[in-house]
């Protein structure tokens, strides 16, 4: 249900900056949250904890 996509121009490396790299938006920010959650899960030794990780949620998972 979508028309075929035909690229008409592709240039690599990019001529718009000195490094020749192309932007990827906020891709680096997307991975940060799961990385922090996985670090907390590993530190607590548990398999799952729903986000957001509030201080109370983490505190309740600490071993007694």
CA atoms within 13 A on the CB side of 13: 7
**Which pLDDT score, from 0 to 100, does residue 50 have?**
93
Average pLDDT of adjacent 10-residue blocks, the chain of 64 residues:
82 82 74 91 95 95 88
**Which pLDDT score, from 0 to 100, does residue 48 have?**
95
| Tally of residues, the chain | 64
**Which pLDDT score, from 0 to 100, does residue 13 have?**
83
> What is the 8-class DSSP label of residue 17?
S
In the chain, where the domains are located: 29-61
| Radius of gyration over every alpha carbon of the chain, rounded to an integer in angstroms | 21
């Amino acid at each position: 249900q979508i028309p075929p996509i035909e690229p008409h121009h592709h240039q690599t490396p990019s001529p718009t900056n000195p490094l020749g790299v192309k932007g990827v938006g906020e891709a680096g920010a997307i991975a940060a949250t799961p990385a922090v959650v996985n670090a907390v899960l590993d530190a607590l030794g548990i398999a799952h904890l729903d986000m957001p990780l509030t201080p109370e949620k983490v505190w309740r998972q600490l071993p007694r």
